[in-house]
Structure 1
Amino acid sequence: MALLARRAARRSAASTKAAAPPAAVAVELSIPAHFRCPISLDLMRDPVTAPTGITYDRESIEAWLDTGRAAVCPVTHAPLRHEDLVPNHAIRRVIQDWCVANRSRGVERIPTPKIPLTPVQASELLFDLAESRDTAAAIARVRALARDSERNRRCLVSVGAGRVLASALASLAADGETPAAALEDVLAALVCMTPLDDEAARILATPTSLGSLVAIAENGSLAGRLNAVLVIKEIVSCIQLTGNVVEELVDALAKVIKAPICPQATKAAMVATYHLASSSERAAAHAAGAGLVPVLVESLVGADKSAAEKALAVLDAVLASEEGRTSARAHALTVPVLVKKMFRVSDLATELAVSAMWRLGRGAKESEEGEATKCLVEALRVGAFQKLLLLLQVGCRDATKEKTTELLKMLNKHKGVGECVDAMDFRGINRLS
């Protein structure tokens, strides 16, 4: 038996070695020390030299400078900026030759890196775009450069690419005859420049621009719909909109939430809907009228942390309206799900679940008293009283503590009623996470 075990171990080791990636093989070859980046200790793919004479891999040194550390050389601690880094073509060619020499041992040749975009080149490109000189080609070039590297993207953002692209989109939308595909191309480039600043958001907040975004979000290609939702989220995060356009945006976002395109689009649509529903009770009522409440409640059953927090945030905002509370009280899963999520997701989810439960149990009008009482009794049945007591013991923020205390008082008034009701089947509820 011991012999068989040793043979199996040797076969497993041989299989693992055969399947080892090129990087692992390169490590076994003992990469020369001067080929390694002093930060990552990995083989340099795009070596750049600082004024101090130290050579780093571009990705590693730029990440070092972008993480909020002092703008200094990691080795010598001398002042260092992005602009000071110079490509080291000599060492790059030597590294490529070494890779070619060891190709038979599984080492792949490092491709020659592309030259990063300079601020002057970026400004010239945006000038051509702003002056409508072959707009389609300029937009395609901006998008391609932004996707090439994070450095290029930052360079474009620093010279105002977000504002220029926003202006281009607004101009094309105002034209009225621009093909949807051309607008989607601008959106694709604009998304690369997010987060957008307030000025770019204001440029996009015109009725014609928002109308185009709504049209693409509802009827565009899958990629176009995703990009439209992402841009809408950027706009409503910066600017508080008013008027009928809010309802149009809510309707478009509700369609994305109810018929998901992809998780990224759903989460972005929820964030945008939260901002809109939080802006006014009218917007919250319209979101409820769009049928969002049942979808949000049911999405909470199997949602991950991020999706659950966003769904709870939207639900809490929508429950500020009477229409939202009426819709939530009519759904059998609302109270059990909210109580279940009080301690199952995160501190933020706990606060949002308590707030939503508080809205349902409190009500804002006398006409809601009967339905609010039913919610409180249901909450008692599924263990809300004990969870709220525990929440006070473990601690929470002041606003949540006030709502928790008020909820406990409301629940206490109906505790006897809840205790007298026959036990229900909790098997379905226990599966909720």
Structure 2
Amino acid sequence: MDDVLDVPKYFTCPISLQLMGDPVTTVTGITYDRESIEHWLLDGKNATCPVTKQPLTKDSDLTPNLTLRRLIQSWRDENASRVVNCLPNLRAPLDRSCLLKLVRDIRWHRLQIETLRHIKVLAVGNEQNRNLMIEVGVPKAVMSYVANCCDENRTIGCEVNNCVAVRSHTLIVLKRMFKAASSSELERLKSEFLQTIIRLLRNGITQQAVNASLHILLDSCRWVRNRAMMVEHGAVFELIELDLGFPEKKTTELILGVLFRLCSCADGRAQ
């Protein structure tokens, strides 16, 4: 019994009481594991911070606690032989077969949300993983899924919270993959991809996912070709409508950043 490993209290999530894999901090200053707090917020009955009881909404911004995440990973590395039932080592590189299985799992309805969560964690933990994800076509598979999820015929009969969670997880995954993409890849984006991102801004996603979408658009519109496609798909109108809804300051800054770049072309200024 003396060899039992005690997890430091500040490494555990106040909701799940398990070791955190992706710690995030809410506006109330409390850190939770992302999956646990997102589930909590998506439950319509939960409108307060579980610890402080201060008001929270499902659109509350969740800030990655990178310092705590590094401390947890360091602790895991030091206690590798004794850590049991913890999340996979986020630094460990993947192989192609593992990623190809994830691509296949996205197509299965009962595995979709869990697969997206898995991809999200892996994309955060290791740059080599992100590069390999791009190489084997994970972004394409994810985007194909979310485009279908936006189809009204696909979402009829689905639980609303489930659809919100899937879309939101997908956009966060894509944002992180964009950070690993090369300039040549971003310059060759397809029109349908940008159209889907723009559609998602008004299709029931969390505040964090809205910001992820805006980051994707901001990274994309560095190229004239991408800016032209965004304007063609009504990005200017959607961004202004979004800002008229009085979003948080961070979201407004991202909106203005995208609009600034879109106004560098004549059609963007006209709209």
**TM-score normalised by structure 2 residue count:** 0.58
Return the alpha-carbon distance in structure 1 between the equivalents of residues 253 and 135 of structure 2.
30
Query: Is 1:288 matched up with 2:231?
Result: yes
Query: Relative to 1, partners in 2 of residues 1:322 and 1:168: Cα closer, same or farther, differing over 3 Å?
Result: farther
Q: Percent identity?
A: 15
Q: 1:185 pairs with 110, 114, 118, which one?
A: 114
Aligned partners of 1:170 and 1:203 also within 8 Å: no
Q: How does 1:258-277 map to 2 (within 5 A)?
A: 258-277=202-221
Aligned partners of 1:196 and 1:234 also within 8 Å: no
Return the alpha-carbon distance in structure 2 between the equivalents of residues 317 and 82 of structure 1.
43
Query: Relative to 1, partners in 2 of residues 1:181 and 1:243: Cα closer, same or farther, differing over 3 Å?
Result: farther
Aligned partners of 1:296 and 1:315 also within 8 Å: yes
Aligned partners of 1:180 and 1:216 also within 8 Å: no
Deviation at 1:276, TM superposition (A): 1.2
Q: 1:310 pairs with 251, 254, 258, which one?
A: 254
Quote the residue 1:28 is aligned against: none
Return the alpha-carbon distance in structure 1 between the equivalents of residues 11 and 112 of structure 2.
37
Q: 1:59 pairs with 9, 15, 24, which one?
A: 9
Quote the residue 2:17 is aligned against: none
Quote the residue 1:368 is aligned against: none
Quote the residue 2:270 is aligned against: 326
Q: Deviations over 1:13-43 (max 9, x none)?
A: xxxxxxxxxxxxxxxxxxxxxxxxxxxxxxx
Quote the residue 2:130 is aligned against: 201
Quote the residue 1:297 is aligned against: 240
Quote the residue 2:172 is aligned against: 230
Aligned partners of 1:254 and 1:292 also within 8 Å: yes
Quote the residue 1:212 is aligned against: 141
Query: Relative to 1, partners in 2 of residues 1:300 and 1:168: Cα closer, same or farther, differing over 3 Å?
Result: same
Aligned partners of 2:146 and 2:167 also within 8 Å: yes
Deviation at 1:267, TM superposition (A): 1.1
* SS of structure 1 residue aligned to 2:204: coil
Query: Relative to 1, partners in 2 of residues 1:170 and 1:324: Cα closer, same or farther, differing over 3 Å?
Result: farther
Deviation at 1:158, TM superposition (A): 2.9
Query: Relative to 1, partners in 2 of residues 1:318 and 1:121: Cα closer, same or farther, differing over 3 Å?
Result: farther
Deviation at 1:207, TM superposition (A): 7.3
* SS of structure 1 residue aligned to 2:196: helix
Quote the residue 2:181 is aligned against: 239
Aligned partners of 1:277 and 1:283 also within 8 Å: yes
Quote the residue 1:82 is aligned against: 75
Deviation at 1:82, TM superposition (A): 3.1
Aligned partners of 2:90 and 2:121 also within 8 Å: no
Quote the residue 1:119 is aligned against: 80
Equivalent residue pairs, number: 196
RMSD: 3.8
Q: How does 1:34-183 map to 2 (within 5 A)?
A: 48=6, 58-60=8-10, 67=67, 82=75, 119=80, 152-153=86-87, 156-160=89-93, 163=94, 168-173=98-103, 178-183=107-112
Deviation at 1:168, TM superposition (A): 2.9
Larger relative contact order (C-alpha < 8 A, sep ≥ 6)? 2
Deviation at 1:293, TM superposition (A): 0.6
Q: Deviations over 1:140-192 (max 9, x none)?
A: xxxxx6xxxxxx45x621334xx45x86343453x699535435432112223
Aligned partners of 1:210 and 1:245 also within 8 Å: no
Q: Greater CA radius of gyration, 1 or 2?
A: 1
Return the alpha-carbon distance in structure 2 between the equivalents of residues 283 and 318 of structure 1.
9
**TM-score normalised by structure 1 residue count:** 0.39
Q: Counterpart amino acid of 1:204?
A: M
Q: How does 1:344-355 map to 2 (within 5 A)?
A: none
Deviation at 1:274, TM superposition (A): 1.0
